[in-house]
Amino acid sequence: MTAALERHLLPAHLARARWFPGYSERRIVPRIIARLPFTQDSTHFFVLEIKNHGHYLLPLQVDWSVDESPELASSIVTRLHQGGREGLLRDVAADPIFIRHLLDHLRRAASIASAGWRLDFKPTSKLGSQPLNTASLIRAIQGEQSNSTALVDQDYVVKLYRHIEPGQNPEVEMGEFLTEATNFSHTPALIGHLEAAHASASYALGIVHAYVPNRGDAWAWSADRLGIYLDATANGSDERDKAITARRDYLQWVRRLGCRVAEMHRALSSRDDAAAFKPEPIDESDLRFWIGDIADRATRIVRELERVSLNAKDRSLAERLLQLHPGLREYAADLVRPSLGRCKIRHHGDLHLGQVLVANDDAVIIDFEGEPSRPLADRRRKAPAARDVAGLLRSLDYSTMAFQQSQRSEKLNSQASRALFVWREQSTDCFLSAYQETIGSSVLWPDGSEDAKAMLNFFLLEKALYEVEYELSYRPAWVSLPLQGVLRVLEEAGIA
C-alpha cells in the first residue's frame, strides 16, 4: 500500500489539492517518512517529504462505512476494495469526527508515540474557560490556500498546517505570548496547539483559537464600505448624508485599527524577561539583511519585468522602475541607515486588511504566521514596528486601487475618481495618526518626523516590492497597482 501511495495515489491527490503548490502530478515525488496513529481506529497523520518542496502533513483515514457523496469528492485519495467491502481512503483534515477527536486530545493534553515520533497536544490556560459541550456544527472554511481550517460551533477555529517546517512556528509562539503573558485582547485567544517531535526537531502541525464573532475580514468589508460610499456619491445630493455617514463610520473604524496595532506593538514589547520578545537595538547585521532583501527582490522583479508581456500602461510603469533599479539599493540604504541603534521587536510580519477581522465595530488581528514565502527563522526575526504599520498603509492604499481596478469601476467618472483619491488619503492619514497618538512617546517609534518618515518609507518600499513580485507570479494583470506604490515612494524622494 505504501508503494502505491507514494508512486500513484498521493501525486494525483496532491496535484488537485488546493493547499499544495500548483504542480503537475508527474513533478510530485512524495516519500512517507512518518505514519502516526491519531485514534484507535484507522486515522493516521502521514508526514510526507516531497522532493524539492519540503514536508507536508496529510491526515488520512480508511473508512469502510461512509457513503460516498459529492461533498466528499475532494477529500478522496482512493477507493478501496477488500473482499466484498468497498470503502474510501480520505483526507480528513476538516472531517467533524476527526476534529472532535483532536479537541478531545487537546483537553487531555495527550501524547502519542510511534516509531521514533511523538504527537503532543498542548492546551493553554484558556481551554479551561471554554465550553465543554460536544461539538455539534463543524464546517470547513472554503477558499483556504495553504492550510485547512474548520469552525467548531461558535467556540473554536481549528487550523491544520499543511506545509510543515522544523522549528518554532511564529503563530503558535506569538499566540501563546499574547494569550498567556500580556493583556492584549484584540486577537483570538490561543486555546492550544499540536506538534510532532522527532529526534531533536519539532514541527507545528495545528493550532486552535477561540472563535471571535465577526463580520468578515477587513479587506472585504472595506470594499463593501467603499462601494456604498461611491454609490451614494454617484446619486448626488439625494444620498449625500448616506455617503457622509459611510465615510465617517469607516474612518472611525480605521482610527480604531490604528489604536489596536499600536496596542499590539506595546504588548509584544512588554516583557524584557522573555528573550524571544525582548526589544533590542537594531544593529549592522539587521541593516545588511533588510537592504539585501530589498535589493534581491528588486533584481528578481527586474528580470521578470523584462520577460513578461504587459499592456502599454503597465509597460510604461515597468520601464520607469527598470530605469530606477540601478540606484534603488543605495536609496533603500539611505532610508534605513538612521534606524541603526533604534528599537526592533517581534511583530506581526504580514499585516494587511485580510489579517484583520471586523468585530463589533472593532478590529481583531489574526494570522501571526508571517509572510508564508519566508523560512521560519526570517518570520521570527525582529524588526521595527514600522514594518507592520507600512503593511497596513499599503493595504489601505491597495484596497482603494483594487476597487478602481475592478470591472465594476471601469466607467468611473472624474467625480468618482476624486472620491476614491480622497477616501484613500483620509483612510491612510487616519490610521497613521491614530497609531502615532496611541504609541505616544516610545522607543518603538522615532522621535523626529524625518526619521519616522524615512523608516516608514523603507518598509513601504519593501512591502510594495513584495506585492509586485506576488502579482507577477499570480495576477500579472494587477501588477500596475503595486508598481504605482513603488514609484510613489521613489517619487516622494525625488528620484523617480
- Measured from the Cβ of residue 65, the count of other Cβ atoms closer than 10 Å reads 7
Phi then psi for 224, rounded to 5 degrees?
-65, -45
In a domain, 48, yes or no: no
Does some domain include residue 459? yes
Relative to beta strand 138-140, strand 147-152 is antiparallel
* CA–CA gap between residue 322 and residue 299 (Å, rounded): 10
Q: How far is CA 178 from CA 160, 196, 390, 440, in A?
A: 20, 23, 22, 21
Residue 422 lies in a domain: yes
pLDDT at 269: 97
C-alpha cell recorded at residue 467: 506585492
Looking at the fold, whether 172 and 253 belong to one and the same domain comes out as no
Rounded to the nearest 10°, the torsion over CA 234, 237, 239, 245 is 100
Q: Is residue 163 one of the residues assigned to a domain? A: yes
C-alpha cell at 250: 469607516
In this structure, is residue 463 part of a structural domain?
yes
Q: Is 437 domain-assigned? A: yes
Beta pairing partners, 112: 119
Do both 112 and 233 map to the same domain?
Answer: no
Please give the helix or strand (H or E) that residue 44 lies within, else none.
strand 43-50
Residues 194 and 247 placed together within one structural domain of the fold: no
Q: Which of 210, 238, 265 is the last residue of a domain?
A: 210
Q: Do 190 and 277 reside in the same domain of the chain?
A: no
Give the integer Cα–Cα distance in Å for 263 and 185: 10
pLDDT score recorded for residue 70: 72
Q: Round the CA-based radius of gyration of the chain to a whole number and report it.
A: 24
Q: How far is CA 408 from CA 227, 346, 412, 427, in A?
A: 10, 40, 9, 22
**CATH, residue 351:** 3.90.1200.10
291 lies in the same domain as 170:
no
Residues 341, 322: one domain?
A: yes
Contact status, residue 107 vs residue 123, Cβ threshold 8 Å: yes
Strand order in the sheet with 138-140: 111-114, 117-123, 190-198, 201-210, 156-161, 147-152, 138-140
Cell 528573550 -> residue: 275
The last residue of a domain, from among 188, 210, 232: 210
Question: DSSP 3-state helix, strand, coil percentages of the chain (rounded to 5)?
Answer: 50, 20, 30
Q: What is the DSSP letter of 66?
A: P
Nearest of 113, 103, 172, 106 to residue 133 by alpha carbon: 103
The cell for 9 is 495515489
Q: pLDDT tens digits, residue range 434-480?
A: 999 999 999 999 988 899 999 999 999 999 999 999 999 989 999 99
Hey, how many other C-beta atoms are within 10 angstroms of the C-beta on 471? 17
Residues 174 and 274 in one domain: no
Domain identity same for 334 and 457 = yes
Produce one character per residue of 226-245: b if its CB has 16 or more CB atoms within 10 Å, e if not: bebbbebbeeeeebeeebee
Indicate whether 313 and 186 sit together in one domain. Answer: no
**CATH code, domain carrying 132:** 3.30.200
Query: Does one domain contain both 436 and 325?
Result: yes
- Are 125 and 252 contained in the same domain? no
Residue stretches of the chain with pLDDT short of 70: 1, 66, 129-135, 144, 237-238, 406-413, 493-496
Name the strand (E) or helix (H) holding 173: helix 170-180
Query: What's the pLDDT at 409?
Result: 46
* Separation CA 177–CA 191 (nearest Å): 12
- Among the three residues 210, 231, 259, which one is the final residue of a domain in this structure? 210
Grid cell 541603526 in the structure block, residue: 340
pLDDT single digits (tens) 177-200: 999 999 999 999 999 999 999 999
User: Can you give the pLDDT at residue 42?
Assistant: 78
Domain count across the chain: 2
What's the domain range around 124?
Answer: 97-210
129 in a structural domain: yes
Cell of 143: 477558499
Give the pLDDT of residue 407.
Answer: 44
Element (H, E) at 416: helix 414-439
In terms of domains, do 198 and 262 share one?
A: no
Q: Which residues of 443-465 are buried (b: 16+ CB within 10 A; e: fewer)?
A: ebbbeeeeebebbbbbbbbbbbb
Alpha helices in 182-269 (DSSP H): 218-234, 240-268
Residue 63 located in a structural domain: no
